[in-house]
Amino acid sequence: MFLVFEIKHVNCILYTYRQMDKSLKINIFGASGAGTTTLGRTLAKYFDYPFLDSDTYYWKLTDPPFQIKHSPETRQGNLKRDFLSHSGVVLTGGMMSWGEGWESCFD
C-alpha cells in the first residue's frame, strides 16, 4: 500500500495510523538534498520507530564519505537483519535497485 498525500494532510493521516496501533514499514526516497532524511527522522521519532538510511548500508565509513561501497551481499545482509528485527521502521533511500523483494516490504 502506498500513501500519497499533500503536506497539509500529514498530521491527520499520521494521527489516524498512530491510533490504529499498526506497525508500518515506511520507505522515503527522493533526490539528494530533497529532505528525505529530515522527513524520515521526523516520522521515526513520531512513530517511535528506528530510523535506517540506505546510505549507511551502501557505503563504507570513509573520510571523505561515499568513496567505497560495501559488497552487494554485505549491504543486503546487514539491511535485512536490521529491517526485519523491527515491526515498524522508517527507511530512507531508493530501494528499487537493491534487488527483488524490497518493493513489497513496505506499507
Q: How far is CA 34 from CA 4, 37, 93, 100, in A?
A: 17, 8, 11, 26
Q: Count CB-CB contacts under 10 A for residue 93.
A: 20
> What's the confidence (pLDDT) of residue 92?
92
User: CA 105, CA 96: separation in Å to the nearest integer?
Assistant: 11
- Model's pTM, two decimal places? 0.77
- Half-sphere exposure (Cβ direction) of 83: Cα atoms closer than 13 Å: 21
pLDDT in tens, 64-89: 999 999 999 999 999 999 999 999 99
pLDDT above 60 (res 8): no
